[in-house]
Amino acid sequence: MKFKEIEKNEDILAYYEKGNDILDFLGYTDHSTAHTKLVAKRAAEILEVFGYGEKEKELALIAGFMHDIGNVINRSHHAEYGAILANEILKETDLSVSDRVQIVSAIANHDESTGVASDPVTAAIIIADKTDVRRSRVRQKDPVLFDIHDRVNYAVTKTKLEYDMDKRKIILDLKVDEKICTMYEYFDIFLSRMNMCSRAARIFDAKFALVVNGQRVL
């Protein structure tokens, strides 16, 4: 089973279509395959940067693409629901039990409310997911109706994930329009996610840094 097959799986795509519709009604930003493909590729990139092989990267691609399918059941505990759904889908593939368990565990542990990074694949998924902050995720078109999540994402005009291997740092570099969103609002929403990234970075013997408008803030 390869990532190229997973990203075309009809069940997964149907889960995402319905789950993303539900989140739209709840007022959440985009959680479609545009998000999950970005997470998948970013997670694989993180593993490559830190010297992991093709197998780990392939598992991260699959886990990253599938990590949000649980939204089709409920946003609350979506990571755990997603792990259960993923396990049922992956049972029908030629993946080994150990590879399936790795993917399921990464999905189950990607959310900051209950998750933890205990291995490189999970750590890469967490960092890739929590650093996807961008204007194009906002679905509400009228700024008057923006909630705090919309404002924070819409205020980010540029996002870049960088690596300083000499200092073993993973750096999220953002440009934020503070006329749209204050730094207080940003941290109100994202502090727990950034802290989770910091803990995940330790799996790579690295540190996580947040730079906003040229200034390091974490």
**Residue 20 pLDDT grade (very low, low, confident, very high; cuts 50, 70, 90):** very high
Q: How far is CA 171 from the centre of its chain?
A: 15
Place of tokens 């993973």: 170
H-run or E-run covering 161: strand 156-164
Instruction: Calculate ∠ Cα 63-47-166, nearest 5°.
Output: 155
CATH of the domain at 52: 1.10.3210.10
Torsion on CA atoms 152, 174, 34, 109, rounded to nearest 10: -80
The number of distinct structural domains making up the chain is 1
Q: What is the pLDDT of residues 60-98, one digit of tens each?
A: 999 999 999 999 999 999 999 999 999 999 999 999 999
Residue 158 CA to residue 171 CA, distance in Å, equals 14
pLDDT tens digits for 157-201?
999 999 999 999 999 999 999 999 988 888 888 999 999 999 999
- The CA distance from 101 to 103, in Å, is 5
pLDDT band at 38 (very low <50, low <70, confident <90, very high): very high
Range of the domain at 20: 3-216
Q: Tokens for 62? A: 């699959």
For the whole model, what pTM was predicted? 0.95
Question: What is d(CA 131, CA 94) in angstroms, rounded to the nearest whole number?
Answer: 31
Cα 159 from Cα 49, distance rounded (Å): 18
Residues 102, 83: Cα–Cα separation, whole Å: 10
